[in-house]
Amino acid sequence: MSSKPLFSLDRLRQDIARYFSVVNPIESGVTKIEFEGPRIAIYTRSRNVFSSRDQIAKDLVTLIKKRVVIRPDESIRMSKERAEEKIKQVIKGVQGLVFNELMGEVVVEIASGVEPPSDDDLKSLSSELGWVIKLEMSPPMKTKTIERVKKIIYGDPQYRLKALRLIGEKVFRNQIFETTDAMITILGSGRQVGRSAILLKTSESKVLLDCGYSPSGSRNLEMMPRFDMMEDLVSELDAIVITHAHLDHMGMVPYLFKYGYRGPVYCTEPTLPLMLMQQLDFINVAGKEGAFAPYSENDVRLAVQHAVPLKYGVVTNITPDVRITFYNAGHILGSAIIHIHIGEGFHNIIYTGDFKFENSRTLDASVYRFPRAETLIMESTYGATPIPFTRQESEQTLAEYVKKTIEDGGKVLIPVPAVGRAQEIMLVLNHLFTSGEIPEVPVFLDGLVVEATAIHAAYPDYLGREIRNKIEELGNVFMSEYFTPIKSIQHRDEVLNMREPAIIMATSGMLEGGPILTYLKEFASDDRNILIFVSYQVEGTLGRKLLKGVREFHLMGEGGKTELVNVKLKIVKVDGFSGHSSRQQLLGYLKAFQPKPRNLILVHGEYDAVTSLARSASKILPSTKIYTPQNLESITLATYT
C-alpha cells in the first residue's frame, strides 16, 4: 500500500483552485464543488465564468482528466417565472419545462419537427437566464416509458441528487491501492447463452459487466448470475455497466437493488428506457403466469434513479482506477461495446456484449478499432454454424414464406424480441409491401413492439446512417399504413377470430411468455399457417424445442388450467435477421480488430459454439491466448511485475 493516496481529493481541489487563480484571472466566484455522478460540478456566482463555462470545463478536463460541469449559483439565476416567460419567447414549440433548483438546470421539451435554436442562441439565452438549459425533443411517437423515466428522474430531484453525490463519492474517492492486477470472474454466460455477468476486479475496484437473466433456467440458481459465490458483492461493488437492453444482459439489475445495492448503473441513453420497459414487463408476465418475480416495481424504480446514461465516445471515470467508453455494437438500439481502461495504461479490455459486424436496416455495423486493447471479451452465439446466405437472401426467403402462406389463406406468426428484431422486421415487411414482393395484408403488432418502436423513433442519433437520412426526408419510417397495433384484449380477440390472411408480430421472441403464445395456441392446429423465427432460440426454451421437432406442448389456460397444444402449422427459421454476428462475421471481426489483443475470452455461446470458434480464432490470432471459460471460472488478465 502506498504511503499516500495515488489519487487525492485535496489535490484535485487544489488543481481547480489553481486554475481559477492563475489560468483564469476573472474572479471565479466558486461557491461550492460537488460530485454529480462521474462529473465534478463547480457552482459559481460569477456571470462571466458561467457564460464561459464550456471553455472553462474543457480546460479543466485537460488539467485534471475528469469530467466537469460549471453550474450557476442561486444568486445569479433569474426567477423561474421570468425564466419560463423568456424561454417561451425565444424557443419555438415549447411543450414542457422542468426546473431543477438544486442543480440550476431547466429541461425544455420542444415539439417534434420544430427547428431548435442554434447552439449560440441557446448559450446566449442560458447566460441571460443564469440557468443551464437542457433541450429535449418530444418523441414523434407517444411513449409512456420515456415519460416514466423522466418522472422518476425529475420527479424527486433531492433523491436523484443524493444518489449522484453518493455515486460521485465512489468515483472520486482517494485511491489507496496501486493498480497491480486485473482479474475477471464469469458469473454467467460461460459456455451458455444468457445471464451475462462478468465481475472485473482490480486491487482497487469491483465492477460488474452486465447483469442478465437466463430465459431457459428452471431454478433460481440457473436463471440468475452466480451472485451466491461472491461474498459481500452488493456492499463492495463499485459499479454496474450494461451493454444493452435485453433481459439476458440487464434483467437482474433490480435484484441487486432489492438487496441493498445503491451504486451507479452505467448505460447508453436509449438503453435506460428500453431497460425500464422490459424489466416492468418481466414482472408483469411473471404475475400473469403465476410465477414469483425476483424483484418489485420499486426495485426497478431505484435502478432508474441510480442510472447514469452516457453517449457513445464519452470517456468516463467510474472508479479511481477504471474508465469506460461506449461504442456502437450494432446489435440493438443503444447497444454498446465497452472499452475499459484500467489504471494509467495498466490494462485495456474490450467487452463486446452482443454485437453485429454488418450493417442492418436499422443500425450501422459495430466498431472494431480502439485506442488500446490487451484483452478482448467477445460473444460467440453463432460461433458453431456458418450462415450460408446474406441479409438480402434472408429477406427474399422471408418474402417467399410469407407470400405462399398468404396465398394459401394462412396466418404468418413472427415471434420477436420487442427490441431490435421487431423494428428490423417491420422495415423489411414495409419494403416487401411497397416493392410488391408480398401481397398486402394487415400486420398486427402485439406486446411491447409498438412501445419499443416509439423509443427507437425518439433516439434517431443512435440509428444507422441510412435510416437517419430517411427519417430526415420522410419522418417516422417505422410505422406505416400496413401496421395495426393491438390496443386491447377485445381487439386481440377480433384478430384471433379473423378468417382472412394476416401477419402477426408479437412478443416474446423465444415463446417464453407474452401474447405470441395466445396466437400460437389459436393458430397451431391449422397447417396453412406458419411460425417464422427470426432471432436466436436459447437451449431449453419453447422456441428451441419446436425447432427440434417437438409438436405438442402444455400451456397455462384460463382459470389456471393446463392445456395441451398440438402443433400442425409449419415452423421455419430465417437466421439472417439476427442481431448477433454470424460465424463468418465473428471471424471477420477478429481479422479486422485493432489492435490485436493478447487475450481472447469467448463467452455467451453454447459449448460447441465457443470451442469451434476458439479453434478457428487460434489460426487468425496465433500469438493470442484464447479462453473458453465456464461459469465461476476466474482469469487473471494482468499482474504487475
Q: Tell me, what CATH number does 49's domain have? A: 3.30.300.230
Q: What's the pLDDT score for residue 26?
A: 54
The pLDDT-based confidence of 229 (bands split at 50, 70, 90) is confident
The closest of 536, 445, 630, 449 to 215, measured between CA atoms, is 536
User: For 486-507, what is each residue's pLDDT tens digit?
Assistant: 999 999 999 999 999 999 999 9
Residues 565, 554 contacting (CB under 8 angstroms): yes
Instruction: Return the DSSP state at 22.
Output: I
Residue 24 has pLDDT above 60, yes or no: no
The CATH number given to whatever domain includes residue 358 is 3.60.15.10
The CATH number given to whatever domain includes residue 519 is 3.40.50.10890
H or E element that contains 223: helix 220-223
Q: What's the pLDDT score for residue 617?
A: 98
Cα–Cα distance measured from residue 251 to residue 195, given in angstroms and rounded to the nearest whole number: 8
Q: Please tell me whether residues 200 and 342 are part of one structural domain.
A: yes
- The residue that leads in pLDDT, 550 or 351, is 351
Report the Cα 27 to chain-centroid distance in Å: 43
Q: What average pLDDT does the chain have? A: 92
The answer to which of 163-177, 322-336, 431-445, 621-635 has the lowest mean pLDDT is 163-177
Q: Where is the domain boundary, 138, 161, 183?
A: 138
Beta strand 411-415 pairing with 530-533:
parallel
Q: What's the pLDDT score for residue 218?
A: 67
Residues 253, 275 contacting (CB under 8 angstroms): yes
145 lies in some domain: no
The single residue listed with the C-alpha cell 428484431 is: 421
15 lies in some domain: yes
Residues 480, 520 contacting (CB under 8 angstroms): no
The pLDDT-based confidence of 474 (bands split at 50, 70, 90) is confident
Q: Please tell me whether residues 588 and 481 are part of one structural domain.
A: no
Considering its fold, how many domains does the chain have in total? 4
User: For 287-326, what is each residue's pLDDT tens digit?
Assistant: 877 777 899 999 999 999 999 999 999 999 999 999 999 9
Residue 25 has pLDDT above 80, yes or no: no
Q: What's the pLDDT score for residue 16?
A: 83
Q: Please tell me whether residues 349 and 272 are part of one structural domain.
A: yes
Angle among Cα 63, 204, 227 to the nearest 5 degrees reads: 130
Residues 602, 575 contacting (CB under 8 angstroms): no
Mean pLDDT confidence for 331-352: 97
Instruction: Return the DSSP state at 102.
Output: T
Q: What is the domain extent for residue 227?
A: 152-385+582-633
Mean pLDDT confidence for 449-463: 94
Q: What's the pLDDT score for residue 27?
A: 64
Which pTM value belongs to this model? 0.92
Single-letter amino acid, residue 322: V
Q: What's the pLDDT score for residue 478?
A: 87
Residues 351, 338 contacting (CB under 8 angstroms): yes
Residue 480 has pLDDT above 70, yes or no: yes
Cα–Cα distance measured from residue 88 to residue 90, given in angstroms and rounded to the nearest whole number: 6
Single-letter amino acid, residue 239: A
Phi, psi dihedral angles at 488 (to 5 degrees): -160, 165
Q: What's the pLDDT score for residue 557?
A: 65
User: For 69-127, what is each residue's pLDDT tens digit?
Assistant: 999 999 999 999 999 999 999 999 999 999 999 999 999 999 988 888 999 999 999 99
Q: What's the pLDDT score for residue 3?
A: 45
Mean pLDDT confidence for 539-567: 84
The pLDDT-based confidence of 467 (bands split at 50, 70, 90) is very high
Q: What's the pLDDT score for residue 641?
A: 65
Q: Please tell me whether residues 524 and 546 are part of one structural domain.
A: yes
Residue 462 has pLDDT above 60, yes or no: yes
The pLDDT-based confidence of 140 (bands split at 50, 70, 90) is confident
Sign of CA dihedral 105, 111, 112, 116: negative
The pLDDT-based confidence of 566 (bands split at 50, 70, 90) is very high
The pLDDT-based confidence of 2 (bands split at 50, 70, 90) is very low
Grid coordinates in use for 530? 406458419
Residues 174, 320 contacting (CB under 8 angstroms): yes
Q: What's the pLDDT score for residue 28?
A: 76
Q: Find the farthest-apart pair of alpha carbons in the chain and give their distance in angstroms, rounded.
A: 81
448 lies in some domain: yes
Q: Please tell me whether residues 169 and 275 are part of one structural domain.
A: yes
406 lies in some domain: yes
556 lies in some domain: yes
Listed in order, strand segments (DSSP E) in 307-418 are 307-310, 316-319, 322-328, 336-342, 347-351, 375-379, 411-415
Grid coordinates in use for 377? 471479451
638 lies in some domain: no
The closest of 224, 244, 215, 217 to 294, measured between CA atoms, is 224
275 lies in some domain: yes
Phi, psi dihedral angles at 370 (to 5 degrees): -140, 155
Listed in order, strand segments (DSSP E) in 64-189 are 67-72, 94-100, 105-110, 132-137, 181-188
Q: Please tell me whether residues 305 and 316 are part of one structural domain.
A: yes
499 lies in some domain: yes
Q: What's the pLDDT score for residue 1?
A: 40
Q: Please tell me whether residues 409 and 545 are part of one structural domain.
A: yes
Grid coordinates in use for 287? 404475475
Residue 4 has pLDDT above 70, yes or no: no
Q: What's the pLDDT score for residue 415?
A: 95
Residues 382, 354 contacting (CB under 8 angstroms): no
Q: Please tell me whether residues 69 and 82 are part of one structural domain.
A: no
% residues pLDDT > 70 (the chain):
97
Grid coordinates in use for 113? 419537427
Q: Where is the domain boundary, 558, 577, 596?
A: 577
Cα–Cα distance measured from residue 557 to residue 561, given in angstroms and rounded to the nearest whole number: 5
Q: Please tell me whether residues 412 and 488 are part of one structural domain.
A: yes
Q: Where is the domain boundary, 552, 577, 602?
A: 577
Grid coordinates in use for 638? 494482468
Q: What's the pLDDT score for residue 540?
A: 85
Beta strand 411-415 pairing with 375-379:
unpaired
The CATH number given to whatever domain includes residue 104 is 3.30.300.20
Q: Please tell me whether residues 557 and 610 are part of one structural domain.
A: no
Q: Please tell me whether residues 465 and 379 are part of one structural domain.
A: no
Grid coordinates in use for 592? 479486422
Q: Please tell me whether residues 261 and 398 are part of one structural domain.
A: no
% residues pLDDT > 90 (the chain):
76
Q: List Cβ neighbours of 572 (8 Å cut-off, separation of 6 or more).
A: 401, 530, 531, 532, 533
User: For 344-385, what is each residue's pLDDT tens digit?
Assistant: 899 999 999 999 999 999 999 999 999 999 999 999 999 998
Cα dihedral: 595, 308, 235, 173 (round 10): 80
